[in-house]
Structure 1
């Protein structure tokens, strides 16, 4: 199946799409498959192994916490971020977890969740292996997943199949920027219209618009929360949140000065910083296309919505559709994973997404 806009923009939690969102999805998927296979009630032992980048930087990214919540059946989209620390502490104290939210099994994270820091699986640097055993110790189910960036989770087999079939069902298939521009020239469609036509193969236009606006509203909420929440970010560096103070400073300025081009950039910086700090705190953000770059698209989209004439919901949807087209090209031909291209690689992807999207909604053409 082709990559959807809603695969790239997903509502989740911080601080990392590849190290938090992906592992939670992998763990939840594993226990869901146990349930589907009718094996979950017989599980007595569970072993989780992290490899490569997940093992080396997992503690700092909260990978262990994300996996524990996923094993209890939580998803990044639905979990209450404020509940995570308390629930994880309960698991650590009792050495038990509620598998898929209903089957209590012994599980000691210090013993059963293993960071294989000296081993990387050959397929991808972000590997997670799950193994379930019955009371006799016999393994009943095992599966290895890879968190490949942006919250995407696949097995090696699925990844190979996706590479072969990624655009085969799209109305307007494109594998490169050149092909995308050729489609635009041939059809007379804008970039956003091309992506919209592809999305309509899977859902109605009304559903697409509603889902895009849900993403926008989640971005607005993360900016608002980031601007209003003071304090210190998690981690050993004890970094103080800066967005609330900057927000107060900007709000104290005269409205006329806000229309100055340099002053508007202060607001754009604020929007990005607010989301980034909310992500660092493990709060609710939208992968855009990753958590590491989650502030850029909301910042530029807020700029469009607040500072450009005639901004409207249709323009917001066009912005997100265009941004997604650019992200699809990176995902197909390079990577959106910081583990593969570095954290600044994620930023570069998001910046080009935002630049292309803003160009379209301000009246630019594909050329």
Structure 2
């Protein structure tokens, strides 16, 4: 088990879709590479770059925008701030002009077809998501670095120690659910309170709260934007965006002017089961349609599963009278700790563990967060996370056409609904009588990941990806 110190802001990262492991991670790797060239004062001597993609990055890289992300990272763009409206024009210009501006300043010749290689039959042993970046210098020498995108936007450089720049003396060190529960029982603190105490070892309470609320504002804007954008998703599957039409239908003519009045208009429709269920699905669809369109999203803990937690959070804010900054911070803090436990004890990479590592983990995170915000005990919080993951075990990752669209978008709606159900079950149950622990399900998930056939791990070599003709509509 990795002994990692993981912050809220490691689990929840602002970036660009459609994939944290195939888009955000490679983007960050490219940034690391050119920063190293700058640091070593060889950027100006660079006259050529080659990009080698291996394993899952090669097989589904085009559908996930891996090539686009790396080119933008090498060009000096940052996924948090880059204008998403300029993504395609920037890449088109690089391809057309056969020229790449490293860090946005140093021009080199670059031929997309010759210098960016998808090595479909080659994989590297450490992790399926591997990219090697090569720089060629004017004096005839070269440099090569290999990076692994291990899920959720986390990046590891080959033969380099894990980045320890954030290592601090945490008041409550946690490696698994047992550790978390021990601290909760000793102190009487909620899960979110334990998390926030740890966060204060890195930064002030004010900075933590400000950062968490910024995560929420990004989620909020993504939901709202997705619920008001029509059209067809890019990539060739011709999948029609559904969230905007569903939003309009459910509102039945009620008017609004901004996010707050939109929520009020939604509430005016009542709290009937079918109505609420439709809105949860709408929120999840909205986020993942934005994700599929290279929109700005938040890893939760990944991009492919970015709609589950926002949908459940929005459900809580809209239908459970939970709107308020304190509750938002509580929800996100609790969710982050569950995601951290899964990353430490298993994986949040679909290329390693299938979709159970993405939708399953996000559902567990959302279930735990909702349970605490609804007044559940610490044990009920962990129970809710366990229930949600238990019923995602074995879920495969088989994206049609290598795109984060089918079945990925609808799976977010399923993960959100399962999270709410898991929370309700935990709140109505006695955790002392539970037969399965959260640590037990984390371990089981990892064993399942190891046993899963590689073709079901984000390669598009099996499952729906090979059984559904690309010409068929989604539904």
Aligning the two structures, in what range does the TM-score lie when normalised by the shorter sequence? over 0.9
Among candidates 346, 362, 375, match of residue 350 of structure 1 = 362
Describe the superposition over 1:204-224 as per-residue Cα deviations: whole angstroms up to 9, x where unpaired. Answer: 001100100000000011111
How far apart, CA to CA, are the structure 1 residues paired with 2:322 and 2:357? 33
Matched, 1:127 2:139: no
1:120 aligns to what SS in structure 2? coil
Within 5 Å, which residues of 2 pair with 1:63-142? 63-139=66-142, 141-142=143-144
1:115 aligns to what SS in structure 2? strand
The answer to whether the 8 A contact 1:2-1:169 is kept is no
Task: State the shift of 1:261 in Å.
Answer: 3.2
Partner in structure 2 of residue 181 of structure 1: 181
Matched, 1:221 2:221: yes
How far apart, CA to CA, are the structure 2 residues paired with 1:363 and 1:157? 46
Within 5 Å, which residues of 2 pair with 1:153-164? 153-158=155-160, 161=162
> Which 5+ residue runs of structure 2 have no aligned equivalent?
255-266, 380-475
User: 1:365 and 1:165, CA in 2 relative to 1: closer, same or farther beyond 3 A?
Assistant: farther
The answer to whether the 8 A contact 1:55-1:116 is kept is yes
Task: State the shift of 1:38 in Å.
Answer: 0.7
How far apart, CA to CA, are the structure 1 residues paired with 2:109 and 2:46? 10
How far apart, CA to CA, are the structure 2 residues paired with 1:246 and 1:309? 23
Q: TM-score, normalised by structure 2?
A: 0.74
Matched, 1:143 2:145: yes
The answer to whether the 8 A contact 1:9-1:289 is kept is yes
Matched, 1:22 2:25: yes
1:44 aligns to what SS in structure 2? strand
> Which 5+ residue runs of structure 1 have no aligned equivalent?
none
How far apart, CA to CA, are the structure 2 residues paired with 1:198 and 1:279? 31
Partner in structure 1 of residue 278 of structure 2: 266
Task: State the shift of 1:309 in Å.
Answer: 2.4
The answer to whether the 8 A contact 1:95-1:108 is kept is yes
Describe the superposition over 1:106-156 as per-residue Cα deviations: whole angstroms up to 9, x where unpaired. Answer: 1111111111111111111001111111124311x3211100000111113
How far apart, CA to CA, are the structure 2 residues paired with 1:137 and 1:232? 47
How far apart, CA to CA, are the structure 1 residues paired with 2:273 and 2:240? 28
The answer to whether the 8 A contact 1:2-1:165 is kept is no
How far apart, CA to CA, are the structure 2 residues paired with 1:272 and 1:68? 29
Structure 1 runs of 4+ with >2 Å offset: 164-170, 253-258
How far apart, CA to CA, are the structure 2 residues paired with 1:97 and 1:260? 55
The answer to whether the 8 A contact 1:45-1:137 is kept is no
Within 5 Å, which residues of 2 pair with 1:252-331? 252=252, 256-331=268-343
How far apart, CA to CA, are the structure 2 residues paired with 1:181 and 1:70? 40
Partner in structure 2 of residue 191 of structure 1: 191
Q: TM-score, normalised by structure 1?
A: 0.95
> CA-atom RMSD, angstroms?
1.7
The answer to whether the 8 A contact 1:338-1:345 is kept is yes
2:113 aligns to what SS in structure 1? helix
How far apart, CA to CA, are the structure 2 residues paired with 1:206 and 1:257? 37
